[in-house]
A and B are shown apart, each in its own frame.
Chain A
Amino acid sequence: MLIAVCVKQIPDPASPGALDPTTRTLDRSGKLIMDDSDSYGVELGLRLAEAAGGGEVVLVSMAPRSETGGLRTALAMGAARAVLVSDPALSGSDALSTAKVLAAALRRVGADLVLAATESTDGYTGTVPAQVAELLGLPSVTFAKSIALEGPEVVVQRQTEAGYDEVRCPLPALVTVTAGVVDPRYPSFKGIMAAKSKPVDVLSLADLGLGPEVVGGAAAGQELVEVRDAEARAGGEVVVDDGSAYEQIVEFLERVKVI
């Protein structure tokens, strides 16, 4: 059982982010870490591989400057190896470009099951995984809260507003995992040390047979036209309690349709 998990490496959300004033995209020049959203997919992938016995988890990522900081974290959790696509021509990639690149890398990996998060923490378009599935011609199941393998099928509990649907789907397939559905393991000391010597295959666009006419900034079908600061929040309304404050609060909550 070969399970591929998409792992996006992003600037640490704990430190304030910045936009590059010329390209209007997120400044990714600092150290990158594993997107927390992907830790759930990694955990589920590892559990499925362990349950299958002898299974293996391969990470797939696209990131600038051959950055492996975030991949090392997932390798320390227990993934076996990683494939990283990094190429200066990828700067300015939109979501479709990203999907094309990930799809090309995943084609080389040839996994039985591909996992991704439902959306990333930094870009959060939530569109990449479905595009990847389409490009690879794989069935795609979204919003998984649990995943099991049963012979040639994957059985997914798919979250809905009312509860969940149980979805069965033949392998190979792509499944997106909802954040928070599982407690991702923390890398142990042994895991951290082992990760240092696990292989990370760094590929360029040429390695994947993709040219700048297909992916990257030049090929982007979307354009960031303008970036504006969000409107400053107006000061809140202060209710001074003269005994009837509760009425005003109830009225307010009704007005904003919370109750």
Chain B
Amino acid sequence: MLFTEDHESFRRTVRGVLAREVDPHVERWEAEGRFPAHQVFAALGAAGLLGLEYDPAYGGQGAEHSYTVVLGEELGRIGCGGVPMAISVQTDMATPALHRFGSHELKTRYLAPALRGAMVASIAVTEPDAGSDVAGIRTRAVRDGDTWVISGTKLYITNGTQADWLCLLARTSEEGGYRGMSQIVFPTDTPGFSVGRTLSKLGNRSSDTAELWFREARVPVANTIGEIGRGFQQQMAQFQNERMIATYVAVGAMTGAIERTVAYLRERRAFGAPVLANQYVQFRLAELSAKVDLLRHYAYACAEAYQRGEDTTRFATIAKLEAGRLQRELADWCLQFHGGAGYMEETWVSRYFRDGRLLSIGGGADEVMLRTLVRLDGLEP
């Protein structure tokens, strides 16, 4: 991947914005279990960070995908996993389908304010009885003339308590399986909608995760994103963006974690020398660093393929799988080399250890990635 001077200028912008708007507040937001999404997104929107690849007609920046790589890497350097996740939901998980398939009216009404940071968006797919198996969702939208009447429950929804609209996946026909689902822009001020509970979590605490209820909530059929009945397929495409940004963020986070660990081990002394003087420690860090580099360049190859307009399902699947596994391994070693300090809440690495764990579950668990890979590579009998 070729990063130009422009990419570096843009990287400085991302770093500057995050240093001003996010970094000083992370500790408080983590403690409060929530960050002020509207306030933070407005600042990011003003700097043009929320709609990098989108059409300037809706307030997007018209940038190529390589700038999303830069954004992701810098998000990864934030001192927690929650805020980067919430931001990526807005930029690369809840909005790609609307941008790709949505009508002009829908984009004007919901995408443009989301890119300005005036509206917060969520992606609402997972349900109490369907996570890995998306085809198992039961939330139903029944047509009544020009409106959908929506009933059901969504679970583990990021930004769920603060969202102004959801990119909702619901069943719109009785066909079952992969058919008969649609993506619908669901405004959260619709009567019949409520936030059930805010869930407390192992990690990513600054990001609110909610259970959402729909009781005969009515939204216009015109809020359907793209084609009625193609929701599953559109969501599968949207998942590719989710997996790519998740990988870029992880690459940034892992690079930062190694740097911080090395800095600590250079100062921390044991047996009359810096801990970093031990060859065992050096070798372990060198191995991890090598693996991060492999992942980084695999991610760049994925980004380039995406930029060429190729289908990146295989790339994104492998990248997300390996990123999740490597982050678990790396966070564990970083914590280990911090000793007791690493086990303390007040040390960054304990949070990283907790937050990093999500990557192997969210956006499709490792095993779901493997399942996809088996199918793509024809590994079935």
Contacts and interface: CB of A to CB of B under 8 A. Distances in A.
Nearest to B47: A186
A253 interface: no
For the complex, would chain B's binding face be called helix, strand, loop or mixed by DSSP majority? helix
B6 interface: yes
Nearest to B19: A186
A46 to B, nearest CB: 13
Contacts of A76: 9
A86 to B, nearest CB: 20
Contact of A187 (B13, B20, B56, B63): B13
Contact of B20 (A73, A183, A188, A190): A183
A189 B66 CA distance: 12
Contacts of A196: 6
A185 B46 contact: yes
Contact of A189 (B17, B20, B61): B61
8 contacts: A183-B20, A185-B46, A186-B12, A186-B13, A186-B17, A189-B67, A191-B48, A196-B6
B9 A190 contact: no
A185 B17 CA distance: 9
B247 to A, nearest CB: 21
Interface string B5-17: 0100110110011
B62 interface: yes
B61 A73 contact: no
Contacts of A72: 9
B63 A189 contact: yes
A193 interface: yes
Given A186-B13, A193-B6, 11 more contacts: A185-B46, A185-B47, A186-B17, A188-B47, A188-B48, A189-B63, A190-B48, A190-B56, A190-B61, A190-B62, A192-B9
Interface in A33-85: 72-73, 76
Interface of B: 6, 9-10, 12-13, 16-17, 20, 46-49, 52, 56, 61-63, 67
Interface in A150-190: 183, 185-190
B46 A189 contact: no
Contacts of A190: 48, 56, 61-62
Contacts of A189: 10, 13, 48, 52, 61-63, 67
A227 B17 CA distance: 39
A70 to B, nearest CB: 11
A188 B56 contact: no
Contacts of A185: 46-47
B10 A192 contact: yes
Contacts of B52: 189
A188 B13 contact: yes
B101 to A, nearest CB: 24
Nearest to B52: A189
- For the complex of A and B, the 9 pairs showing the least CB-CB separation, nearest first, are A188-B48, A186-B13, A189-B61, A189-B63, A186-B16, A186-B47, A192-B9, A190-B61, A186-B17
Query: Which of A76, A183, A186 has the most C-beta atoms of chain B within 10 angstroms of its own C-beta?
Result: A186
Query: Which of B9, B12, B56 has the most C-beta atoms of chain A within 10 angstroms of its own C-beta?
Result: B9
A37 B152 CA distance: 55
A67 to B, nearest CB: 14
Contacts of B62: 189-190
A221 to B, nearest CB: 38
A76 B8 CA distance: 13
Contacts of A183: 20
A183 B20 CA distance: 9
Nearest to B16: A186
Query: Which of B6, B20, B46, B62 has the most C-beta atoms of chain A within 10 angstroms of its own C-beta?
Result: B6
Contacts of B56: 190
Interface in A93-129: none
A187 B47 CA distance: 7
Contacts of B63: 189
A145 to B, nearest CB: 19
A188 B9 contact: no
B32 to A, nearest CB: 23
Contacts of A73: 9
B44 to A, nearest CB: 10
B9 A187 contact: yes
Query: Which of A73, A185, A187, A192 has the most C-beta atoms of chain B within 10 angstroms of its own C-beta?
Result: A192
Contacts of B49: 188
A192 B46 contact: no
Interface string A180-223: 00010111111111001000000000000000000000000000
A110 B56 CA distance: 34
Contacts of A192: 6, 9-10, 13
A10 to B, nearest CB: 16
A183 B49 CA distance: 17
Contacts of B10: 189, 192
Given A73-B9, A76-B9, A193-B6, A188 B61 contact: yes
Query: Which of A73, A188, A189 has the most C-beta atoms of chain B within 10 angstroms of its own C-beta?
Result: A189
A131 to B, nearest CB: 32
Contacts of A186: 12-13, 16-17, 47
A16 B126 CA distance: 52
B265 to A, nearest CB: 24
Nearest to A72: B9
